[in-house]
Structure 1
């Protein structure tokens, strides 16, 4: 199906309240049918083009390219000789990036139970397939998983791109129990690539001590031809006093691999991480979360922030993170009687080393048979925003009321994974596939900071209380709201009416901070009729 008709129309909207700030300009494409079952992603390219990708389970990968004037210049359907475009139900997307002015898609498919990673390179103006490559293959997934302290030995491919250049890396983890003839030193491979997609490095990653034969992938970041990898080395405990797992931070350059173990992380449970490189200070900032009190009535999450030298991996310091400032704000502004208990969803770093943490109050629950994915759910509730200076001192904390229910289980760092374009076609019921519309977006622009999400508006009106809210689970009455620095609610796409509303697919969105430009997929609802538009918002 061809989703896009040529032509655009300009829509300049005033904020709902009278503000002195400049009016954001919203430009919409011509309307097209609401996208069908699948996955959608939009990229703002450096050449001023916009790429809209729709991964359709029947039609394959449909690409629409817009020029600088936001007019459609090309529509194409990707065909492949290497992977099966008709098997998207069993496809995992590991990342979608702009690399060297091209759109690059990394995706996995199974071939006789063996995961294979493919790279598709699309032209940045025409959207046509320029090249495709198979980058690797893992051993069969038919093995027994290794789980230590709720940390799984990874059996997967992972991709990371330098946020400041077009260098990138691929890590291949072979998990599962070792057989008697297998050595642990060959199970993790790291490949480095230049902006022109040439392999410039290949390293075998393992700890010299054979006591940790398994690894759980946590995160990876790239700075030019340098790769920084965070893992949780694992081993099967023989004694309760044994260290079963510990965080390792590693630097990889060509074939040289350095490791730094963090002793204070010994035996952490259900670990998640986000690592960033700060070019100005040549430091690494590592955010860690670990579960506490699992199986009790008071489960929680501990958070630690670590600073390391990027050259030597020596740790300058580490510190626990508390949400006191967010809690104080919530108690003063949102009628909280207790503490705010959100978990990190993404870490944003600035050139001076200051940090903004995006948090969300999430809880996991089951509505029936715990083995059925469609019966597993995640509450994605109140938002927390915390800022820290370059020394790690908390400067401010705010919160925003939000109540949503997503189908499936979603761990911390969900927004970080979504930003990279990661997706798995695991929910085969389109009516329940609301997750791309949930959670939130946070934008920092020259004119201010903005929080964007979808919600039922009647439960956000002044005078209501938190307990009156109904969690957003279906999109029938959803509308997109935007809050500015002052906490004022804005309607970017028009004021909702009884039989008319606007909501956006946040999972498809993209944002260029240096240009203050945001793009998303807008769904307009008029009675029972729904139409879609690409929406560019200039803040």
Structure 2
């Protein structure tokens, strides 16, 4: 667990001329008139349907203009609704899954969802007889019908004693990883051998697939020279049919040869049966929390961002967390063909911290600066890198029922919480130099344990399977999302009791938000001096009318000019409808 302070800010320190800042926020209690309204992006919506309060949902925008709406249920399998280019639907197609009982859908982990050959491909991990098993489901991109259901890979059986909760945010299995080439329809899966014997070195089996789902290459990725027993936190980049690039952390314990660790990278060339690999010497003894790979097409290099916990003597390197849980963030620029390190540097954001100190940070936190955690990063077409941060703090509370006494007993349960604070956006050059930074005030609490790189993981997995009922918690509506299109930045988030007309964007006057049903979606623009705002889905007609959307379901077109998500419309306490909405940023 880690702890951190919650401080909030409201402006932008510096803005390059080529960028205009637009902030799109989901704001609770948005009932007062908005001054100086700006025009929100145009949107269209589907016919209304009942809000799916149980199961999990996803959207996929297809190249043919269709939108596929997936509902993963624990009674009917996978329901798919296909919306055409005019956003009209012919109805819901029910697809039964034959590989497990319907009620076991709640135990599945979504590993990936993307388009290949005009069809939608879903990768689900399921525990079958205590063996993690990866399934590939292929759905027709025009009809939504399930075309193929096949077992793709299996891992070692997990002992009963090691069975863990597979719920959202508590345990996301690291048995399998699935990645697709952003520029083509080639993809790869990694099978992580985390249950190998005590004498055997861990390895990751990598399988490279063509768009016709045939295997191009497969090989075992191991620590060079058998240096490290354990391999953790892998990420993969796929380059068409040419190669697959992988990075992970290797480490030992005292019982397996010492406590050293390094980041390891490797490449599997087309047709080869073994990897070329390399240990990055400068990552000696890193305690990595996670690493993420992204490819920049303009220079052909891979950018690897890794977060690692600092030692007491190196805490000046850290920018995330408190002194007792201090984390540094390092960008590594790598040549995926030669495995050469072109550059590596620690991320610093003095402008972001200076803004927090000078404007809205509490007196106790002004010296600490901004210490939010990394959630993702984006390689932009304009030659900049955007880093997405968010304050996060883990907590717990014990709840009891009954009365203590001779004739009664007290039942208690512990609820794990994540307090999610203000957003930090940093735009930097490829060399790490900070160009512009701003923060957005936000204060949320969700009854789940959520961690850093949440926004990145949402793209590939990390779904929340809703149980329904009044006690259902919905982390899929929390945190935020980000979009940069047409030279403008958009930030999406949920917050409570936000006063749109407040000059100070100070969280200290607000209560934390636990409920989501009082939200409205607003669109705000920054002109360099002040923020102007508008309701994205129209101003509510009454105080008890709300329109909000599900962040976890956000999907965009390849050019990012169309965004789709699910909007919930609430009138009064009980009247709710759901819509698929398409927001146009053209």
Classify the TM-score, shorter chain: 0.7 to 0.9
Which residue matches 1:444? 484
Q: Hey, what does 1:173 align to over in structure 2?
A: 192
Structure-2-length-normalised TM-score: 0.81
**After the TM superposition, which of the residue ranges 323-332 and 502-511 deviates more from structure 2?**
323-332
The correspondence for 1:474, drawn from 499, 504, 515, is: 515
Question: What are the superposed Cα offsets for residues 236-272 of structure 1, whole Å, 9 maximum, x if unpaired?
Answer: 22599x4432111222223241222122323323521
What per-residue deviation string (whole Å, max 9, x for no partner) do you get for residues 275-318 of structure 1? 11122212111111013479986422211111111211111221
Aligned with 2:222: secondary structure?
coil
- Residue 508 (structure 1) aligned with residue 553 (structure 2): yes
User: 136-145 vs 338-347, which deviates more?
Assistant: 136-145
Q: What is aligned with 1:274?
A: 292
Does residue 355 (structure 1) correspond to residue 385 (structure 2)? The answer is yes
1:87-123 CA distance string (max 9 Å, x none): 1121111111122221111001111100110000111
Residue 342 in structure 1 maps to residue 342 in structure 2: no
Cα distance in 2 between the residues matched to 1:74 and 1:293: 57
Instruction: Tell me the equivalent position of 1:285.
Output: 303
Aligned pairs (5 A) from 1:47-58: 47-58=64-75
- In the superposition, the TM-score normalised over structure 1's length comes to 0.88
Q: Distance in 2 between matches of 1:429 and 1:376?
A: 19
1:463-509 CA-partner distances (Å, limit 9, x unpaired): 56321111221123222233334443331012244211111111011
Match in the other structure for 2:584: 538
**Measured at CA, do residues 179 and 260 of structure 1 come closer, stay the same or move farther in structure 2, by a change above 3 Å?**
closer
Distance of aligned partners of 1:256 and 1:74 in 2 relative to their CA distance in 1, 3 Å threshold: farther
SS at match of 2:457: helix
471, 479, 494: which one aligns with 2:538? 494
| Distance in 1 of aligned mates of 2:376 and 2:438 | 16
Structure 1 unpaired stretches of 5+: 1-14, 146-151
Ranges in structure 2 where 5+ consecutive residues have no aligned partner = 1-32, 163-170, 313-320, 400-411
Residue 233 to residue 267, structure 1, CA distance change in 2 (3 Å): same
User: What does residue 385 of structure 1 align with?
Assistant: 425
Q: SS at 2:65's partner residue?
A: coil
Q: Does the C-alpha gap of structure 1 residues 476 and 208 become closer, same or farther in structure 2, counting only changes over 3 Å?
A: closer
Q: Aligned match of 2:156 in 132, 139, 142?
A: 139
Question: 2:57·2:71 contact (CA, 8 Å) conserved in 1?
Answer: yes
Helix, strand or coil at the partner of 1:376: strand
Please list the CA deviations of residues 25-75 of structure 1 after superposition, one character each: whole Å capped at 9, or x if unmatched.
Answer: 111112111112111111111111101111122222111000000011342
- Structure 1 residue 354: Cα displacement: 2.5
1:343/1:361 contact within 8 Å kept: yes
Alpha-carbon separation, structure 2, partners of 1:515 and 1:344:
22
C-alpha distance in 2, partners of 1:66/1:91? 26
Mapped to 2, the partners of 1:25 and 1:431 lie a distance apart of: 35
| Residue number among 349, 359, 381 corresponding to 1:323 in the alignment | 349
Counterparts of 2:389 and 2:108 in 1: how far apart (Å)?
Answer: 29
User: CA separation in 2, counterparts of 1:296 and 1:511?
Assistant: 35
RMSD: 2.8
Helix, strand or coil: the match of 1:399?
Answer: strand
CA distance in 2, matches of 1:391, 1:37: 46
Q: Distance in 2 between matches of 1:33 and 1:428?
A: 13
**Do the aligned partners of residues 430 and 511 (structure 1) sit closer, same or farther apart at CA in structure 2, a change above 3 Å counting?**
farther
Give the corresponding residue for 1:6.
Answer: none
1:431 paired to 2:471: yes
